[in-house]
Structure 1
Amino acid sequence: MNIRTNILMRVYLAFGLIVIFAAAVLLQMGHVQIGQGKKWRAMADSLSTRYVNVDAARGNIFAIDGSLLATSVPEYELHMDMLAGGIADDKVFYEKVDSLSQKLSQFYGDKSAGEYSRILREARKDSSRYQLVRRKVTYQELKQIRKFPIFNMGKYKGGLIIVQKNKRILPYRTLASRTIGYKNENVKNPVGLEGAYADYINGQGGKRLMQRIAGGIWKPVNQEEELAPKDGADIMSTIDVNFQDVVQSALKKALITSMAEHGTAILMEVNTGEVRAVANYTRTKDGDFTEQFNYAIAGNQDPGSTFKVASYMALLEDKKVDTTTQVNIGYYAVPHTTKTVKDSHGIVGRVSVKKAFEESSNAAISYLVNSSYHNNQEQFTDHLMDWHLNEKLQLQIPGEAQPVVKTPKNTSWNKYLTLPQMAYGYEMQLTPLKMLSFYNAIANNGRYISPIFVREIRRMGNPVEHFEARVINDKICSDGTLKKMQEMLRGVVSEGTGKNIINNPMYEISGKTGTAQVADGRNGYKARRQYQASFCGYFPSNKPKYSLIVVINDPKNGYYAAQVSGPAFREIADKVYASDFGIKQAAPAQHLVGNTQPPKIKEGNFKAIKQVYSKLGMRAQYASASPTADTSNGIAYQEISYKKGSVPNVTGMGLSDALYVLGNAGYKVGVRGSGVVKNQSVTGGSLIPKGSKITLELQ
């Protein structure tokens, strides 16, 4: 074979191999394109696009009067597509970009117009499809920004991309903040109402298709979500914002005055068990007080003397004693031990059981319980179990501590010491809300109910679920025992430890002081002495509307409950009583000194005057019905009748009443001066057309 033929053979072979390889490549491309095209396109889409969750607007939390305690407000993040249809032409973009920059600079003032222009121009050169313009934009700001050059070109033409986020705010800031709680993905245990009712409040999230673009940034494919989120339901709480403010203010004042470490105060409605206010304060390193821990439901400690109501109730119910039974106070040497129970007030002698309770004698109750139940100790603790004091209240909010109430079956039970110490509130752990609930049962004629914080759940204004207090015990004791306990609790304030500070002559308060030495953390009782001062009770005594507890921990300026917790209890009770017109009380006696006469009543809105009389408990007497009416025991009210179409006489009235009368008569009013009406430009009784103007001169 010659050289030429050999070369040609090699060329043909190489060419053939190339053709075969090319054909194989084409066949494989066809297979990938046609046979596997669907698979690979789906894979490409999965790498460049994805659905992301869109949070729903969380539901609101309302106070009992409809005030917002917590709400979600929209907050926006603004981006810009530099290649949007309306600005695809460079001429359009560069003609308006400086105007847009000027507007942004004037609106926010954080950058100069030149800086904004440079950022937007560089983004244009980079063909950015998702350039960040601004974070944390409010809805009101967004309304203005939509009117800016370029952005006002329309939904898709101007390139403005709006990403909505939801921001949680508390309109009243720190008011009931711990009870409201919060949502935090990093906190496993739910906090407050936000955590307990998260399934309702969170709503149902939506879906939005996002596409990855240059730089690893994800941008929405469409302006709207593919699956719109459903907003959360609203929570109607039992909190009263006005009472909450009163409770927080009084508690903080007491903590500052006593230089205490922490404290709590809870206000509850007796019949319904609805918690109207709850405050928890902890001293910070800088000396201020903030809500860091919910002591009301999680602060388990020895209740001290406030527990004596349970001890006396057991004694009375078992007929071991009566209120007139005589008992020694001052000290009590516990048999078979070296323990001596001493009364801190130093009074020694023999008094009635009622007086011993009013003076909060530890020695008396320790002796009475130990001597009555020593041979059958379970009889005493069985009462505590029957009253469910050893059980949680099953609250609507999380975090409730487990009560600790011993029985003789506990290994830590000492048959000589435990019973006499339990009698005055030691060797057990109860939360302030647990103790308040028991007092509330006494005020509620024996009906023991669990407190509630949420009254209703609503979606789109329609009730979804309604809550009422769970009944723990229909009747905690007999009516006879209940009446005696109510009298004894009233006596504490009128004659006992609460007399000088808590007693109010305008209305009756019932309750009990409680001073207890508490453990100092890991150091126990052997380290520095720490005390808990509390006052628990209800008001008004004859028809209880509210129950209230105030607990102050580790006070430095004295530790007796009446002096430490009493002022805060009194302040809260006074302000609540004064502001709640629903509390029906007998009108206080009116004492008129010298020639003082009841106030004269000016003519005006008849219905308004009647309502004022009713709220003040005053009787209105209508002189027009009886010219000789006796006004010595009321206030005379003269009804004025006008001839139809005539001008009313408003001389002597205040401006609001004069405007009311003349406006109803159909006249326009002009005013000069201030005070009461001295003269009117048209005399009363004159006949002038409706719509005429009457000028009033006030002085």
Structure 2
Amino acid sequence: MAVDDKHISYRIYLVAVFIFLMAIAIVVKLTNIQWVEGDYYRKLAKQRTVRNFVIPANKGNIYSADGSLLATSVPNYEIRFDAKTPKTETFEKYVKALSDSLVTVLGKSGSYFEKELRKARTNKNRYYLVARNLSYTEYVKIKGFPLFNLGAFKGGIIIEQETVRKHPIGKIAERTIGYDRIDPATGIEVGKGIEWAFKSYLNGKDGKILKQKIAKGQWKPIRDVNEVDPQDGFDVISTIDVFIQDIAHHALLKQLETYEADHGCVVVMETETGHVKAISNLGRGEDGSYYETTNYAIAESHEPGSTFKLVDLMAILEDKVADTSTVYDTHGGEIRYYGRAVRDSHRGGYGKISLARGFEVSSNTVMVQAVYDNYKNNPSKFVDHIKNFGLHKTLGLHFKGEGRAIIPHPGDKNWSGVSLPWMAFGYSVSVTPMQTLTFYNSVANNGVMVKPQFVSEIKEWNKTIKKFDVEVINPKVCSEETVKKLKAVMLNVVKRGTGAKLYSKDFSMAGKTGTVQVNYGKAGKEGMYYASSFVGYFPADHPKYSCIVVVHKPNTAKNNYYGADVAGPVFKRIAQKIFTDAPSTNKIKKLDSRIPKQDNSYNEYYAKAEKKVKQIPDLKGMPGMDAIALLENLGLKVKVNGVGKVKKQSLQAGQNISKNETIVLELS
């Protein structure tokens, strides 16, 4: 018995020792948790129960120059259904009514929705899609339908909201307005146009609010104030004019469809400021429709063809190596350099004609001779002119993806004997349509080259945050004498040259046609094709707008691909519509000048009105409106028959006035 008691005592001691050691371990662990690892566990607990939530900033709007909304942020709603949440009796009570209600917004039949909702419940679908891309009005309406109006925990409605960017004017100028978003595939920020270039102003700064986790996975704000208040983005005021944009877009679209062209672009720019009032870039899709695809006007650098001949003429006139009256022989429409032919589009040539006339009819033989004969011994001098005109570098626009110019220079590996003559008629060089337009605009602007602008200012409500002033690239590309001569020959291009079909006595235009073989000598799908262009300005005498139109790959089966026939009509349509449809902005002169007859009439009325009259005045001969005002001020009620001046009055002059008495006036 004693032995058994002894064994029991040993066991009790062992248990006590074990409990003691456990107690020590617990104390050590608690001490470690409290003092050694305390900060870590407190931080972990806080992360799981307290979290900072982002408060998205409202993105700024983009407006046109005339105040129209080009881009804005609107809430977009998606509604889903947790089919497992509602109780069976609740679901059965409301499912029919909910299905019938959804018909009013989503259009499909009630039986379809009832079938789908029941199927979702059978499958225990906790995330069934009811509708997406809903407006706020549609969301509120659906939220109030039977079953859904019971909320998330009884009715099973799940609401997801996101902010999307909308373009109220549709697809017009979509590439220029652009976008700024995160690529879901890569997580990298991507964007184009104004949205991307001015994102630092538009996006604003997100705020933060601290929330604590409560029952059922919900989060509740800890404080009444935000940790960081969101700062809304600023508004961007673009230079685009919706009226001109609409004209340019549809004029280009019509011509692309007529000639079944591959793509094209048009830009309209304000001469003095460089403000781009319209820009359209349309490419043909597989279905034959045209869409805003690549920003061709800015990104596509290609051989310009005959529109480059203005560079020739400006350089020649500035160096005074020839004049507009200098005569050249077109040699039957063909001349050769190093075994390669330069031909005029007009078979047989033009005989002997002046340099000015050669420009007007776009004679390749004349312009090439003028350049080659005067610069063959020093081609660098001609190339330096091109660089001085700024055509060798990008314009430095806010947009990314601006096309780069290619201007060969003596000493380059690709320079050869034919480089200089080929440059003279717009081959072997490459520029973007926007660069070409900027150069032509400098002539319209009397030699001042200004940078194209797409945004005029940044605003916060009515407060201007930043204003973009006119930026001069080159204050004087050439002399005033040269500008006058260039303007004269470009006017004659339309009057009697290659653009004669565009001439109208009702409004004046000046410019240059261009037709070029793109990818010359290449074959296959990306082989040679024609690009037609027209660039110039209007009105010719006092230029307000410059414009360029480029149409790529018109269908040659139409038997026409020349600039005057394909691109020219777009230019004319734009100029014509702006001239005839734009509201008049003429100021009324001498608005504040005094007219004696009006002054006398007013003084006569005022003198009578000021008198404390107790008797009916003699109103004969007084204008009806003045008589009514006078009598009503005297407390009388007035009835009028006819229009004009007072001929008769029912209450005779000199009669005492009784308030609220009625007097009848007959007017002549």
Q: TM-score, normalised by structure 2?
A: 0.78
Alignment partner of 2:172 out of 166, 172, 175: 175
Distance, in Å, in 2 between the alignment partners of 1:202 and 1:363 is: 55
Alignment partner of 1:642 out of 623, 636, 645: 623
Equivalent runs, 1:3-152 vs 2, <5 Å:
3-24=3-24, 26-28=26-28, 30-31=30-31, 34-35=34-35, 39-47=40-48, 49-76=50-77, 102=97, 106=101, 136-141=133-138
Instruction: Using the TM superposition, give the Cα deviation of residue 212 of structure 1 relative to its aligned residue in structure 2, in angstroms.
Output: 7.7
Equivalent runs, 1:626-641 vs 2, <5 Å:
none
**Distance 1:468-1:95 versus aligned 2 partners, 3 A rule:** same
Report SS of the residue matched to 1:375: coil
Q: Which residue of 2 aligns with 1:365?
A: 367
Instruction: Using the TM superposition, give the Cα deviation of residue 380 of structure 1 relative to its aligned residue in structure 2, in angstroms.
Output: 1.0
Distance, in Å, in 2 between the alignment partners of 1:193 and 1:165 is: 22
Q: Which residue of 2 aligns with 1:634?
A: none
Equivalent runs, 1:434-453 vs 2, <5 Å:
434-453=435-454
Q: Which residue of 1 aligns with 2:511?
A: 511
Deviations along 1:582-606, one digit per CA (max 9) or x if unpaired, are 687xxxxxxxxxxxxxxxxxxxxxx
**Distance 1:143-1:308 versus aligned 2 partners, 3 A rule:** same
Aligned residue type for 1:560: Y
Distance, in Å, in 2 between the alignment partners of 1:622 and 1:513 is: 57
Distance, in Å, in 2 between the alignment partners of 1:197 and 1:308 is: 36
Distance, in Å, in 2 between the alignment partners of 1:555 and 1:571 is: 19
Q: Which residue of 2 aligns with 1:221?
A: 220
Report SS of the residue matched to 1:296: helix
Aligned residue type for 1:538: Y
- Residue 412 (str. 1) matches residue 393 (str. 2): no
Q: Which residue of 1 aligns with 2:612?
A: none
**Distance 1:115-1:485 versus aligned 2 partners, 3 A rule:** same
Aligned residue type for 1:551: V
Report SS of the residue matched to 2:273: coil
Instruction: Using the TM superposition, give the Cα deviation of residue 74 of structure 1 relative to its aligned residue in structure 2, in angstroms.
Output: 2.4
Q: Which residue of 1 aligns with 2:328?
A: 327
Deviations along 1:244-275, one digit per CA (max 9) or x if unpaired, are 11111011111111121111000000011000
Deviations along 1:528-569, one digit per CA (max 9) or x if unpaired, are 531111000000000000001110111112211111111111
Q: Is the 8 A contact 2:208 2:230 kept in 1?
A: yes
Report SS of the residue matched to 1:190: strand
Structure 1 alignment gaps of length 5 or more: 585-609, 615-620, 626-639, 649-665, 670-679, 695-699
Alignment partner of 2:580 out of 559, 572, 578: 578
Q: Which residue of 1 aligns with 2:199?
A: 198
Deviations along 1:631-651, one digit per CA (max 9) or x if unpaired, are xxxxxxxxx972445579xxx
Q: Which residue of 1 aligns with 2:545?
A: 546
Report SS of the residue matched to 1:20: helix
Q: Which residue of 1 aligns with 2:615?
A: none
**Distance 1:100-1:34 versus aligned 2 partners, 3 A rule:** farther
Q: Which residue of 2 aligns with 1:307?
A: 308
Instruction: Using the TM superposition, give the Cα deviation of residue 138 of structure 1 relative to its aligned residue in structure 2, in angstroms.
Output: 3.4
Aligned residue type for 2:10: R
Instruction: Using the TM superposition, give the Cα deviation of residue 133 of structure 1 relative to its aligned residue in structure 2, in angstroms.
Output: 9.0
Q: Which residue of 2 aligns with 1:492?
A: 493
Deviations along 1:262-290, one digit per CA (max 9) or x if unpaired, are 11000000011000000111111111111
Instruction: Using the TM superposition, give the Cα deviation of residue 50 of structure 1 relative to its aligned residue in structure 2, in angstroms.
Output: 3.6
Q: Is the 8 A contact 1:210 1:218 kept in 2?
A: no
**Distance 1:33-1:423 versus aligned 2 partners, 3 A rule:** closer
Instruction: Using the TM superposition, give the Cα deviation of residue 576 of structure 1 relative to its aligned residue in structure 2, in angstroms.
Output: 1.3
Distance, in Å, in 2 between the alignment partners of 1:65 and 1:175 is: 16
Number of matched pairs: 603
Instruction: Using the TM superposition, give the Cα deviation of residue 25 of structure 1 relative to its aligned residue in structure 2, in angstroms.
Output: 5.5
Instruction: Using the TM superposition, give the Cα deviation of residue 226 of structure 1 relative to its aligned residue in structure 2, in angstroms.
Output: 5.2
**Distance 1:546-1:682 versus aligned 2 partners, 3 A rule:** same
Aligned residue type for 2:581: S
**Distance 1:220-1:437 versus aligned 2 partners, 3 A rule:** farther
Distance, in Å, in 1 between the alignment partners of 2:490 and 2:567 is: 16
Instruction: Using the TM superposition, give the Cα deviation of residue 512 of structure 1 relative to its aligned residue in structure 2, in angstroms.
Output: 0.3
**Distance 1:387-1:645 versus aligned 2 partners, 3 A rule:** closer
**Distance 1:171-1:20 versus aligned 2 partners, 3 A rule:** same
Aligned residue type for 2:272: N
**Distance 1:645-1:446 versus aligned 2 partners, 3 A rule:** closer
Report SS of the residue matched to 1:428: coil
Q: Is the 8 A contact 1:490 1:541 kept in 2?
A: yes
Report SS of the residue matched to 1:184: strand
Distance, in Å, in 1 between the alignment partners of 2:524 and 2:119 is: 67
**Distance 1:314-1:142 versus aligned 2 partners, 3 A rule:** same
Deviations along 1:381-430, one digit per CA (max 9) or x if unpaired, are 1111111110111112222111111221322111x211111111111100
Equivalent runs, 1:560-571 vs 2, <5 Å:
560-571=562-573
Distance, in Å, in 1 between the alignment partners of 2:492 and 2:445 is: 18
Distance, in Å, in 1 between the alignment partners of 2:622 and 2:515 is: 65
Q: Which residue of 2 aligns with 1:591?
A: none
**Distance 1:343-1:398 versus aligned 2 partners, 3 A rule:** same
Q: Is the 8 A contact 1:181 1:193 kept in 2?
A: yes
Report SS of the residue matched to 1:405: coil
Distance, in Å, in 2 between the alignment partners of 1:18 and 1:251 is: 92
**Distance 1:254-1:118 versus aligned 2 partners, 3 A rule:** closer
| Mean CA deviation greater in 560-569 or 202-211 | 202-211
Aligned residue type for 2:402: E
Report SS of the residue matched to 1:195: helix
Instruction: Using the TM superposition, give the Cα deviation of residue 168 of structure 1 relative to its aligned residue in structure 2, in angstroms.
Output: 0.7
Distance, in Å, in 1 between the alignment partners of 2:504 and 2:116 is: 67
Distance, in Å, in 2 between the alignment partners of 1:101 and 1:52 is: 38
Q: Is the 8 A contact 2:308 2:425 kept in 1?
A: yes
Cα RMSD between the aligned structures?
A: 4.6
| Mean CA deviation greater in 4-13 or 270-279 | 4-13
Q: Which residue of 1 aligns with 2:399?
A: 397
Report SS of the residue matched to 1:106: helix
Aligned residue type for 1:178: R
Distance, in Å, in 1 between the alignment partners of 2:156 and 2:21 is: 48
Report SS of the residue matched to 2:163: strand
Q: Which residue of 2 aligns with 1:588?
A: none
**Distance 1:504-1:294 versus aligned 2 partners, 3 A rule:** same
Q: Which residue of 2 aligns with 1:237?
A: 238
Aligned residue type for 1:4: D
Percent identity of the aligned residues?
Answer: 35
Instruction: Using the TM superposition, give the Cα deviation of residue 67 of structure 1 relative to its aligned residue in structure 2, in angstroms.
Output: 0.4
Deviations along 1:464-494, one digit per CA (max 9) or x if unpaired, are 1111232111111111111000000000000
Instruction: Using the TM superposition, give the Cα deviation of residue 135 of structure 1 relative to its aligned residue in structure 2, in angstroms.
Output: 5.9
**Distance 1:100-1:230 versus aligned 2 partners, 3 A rule:** farther
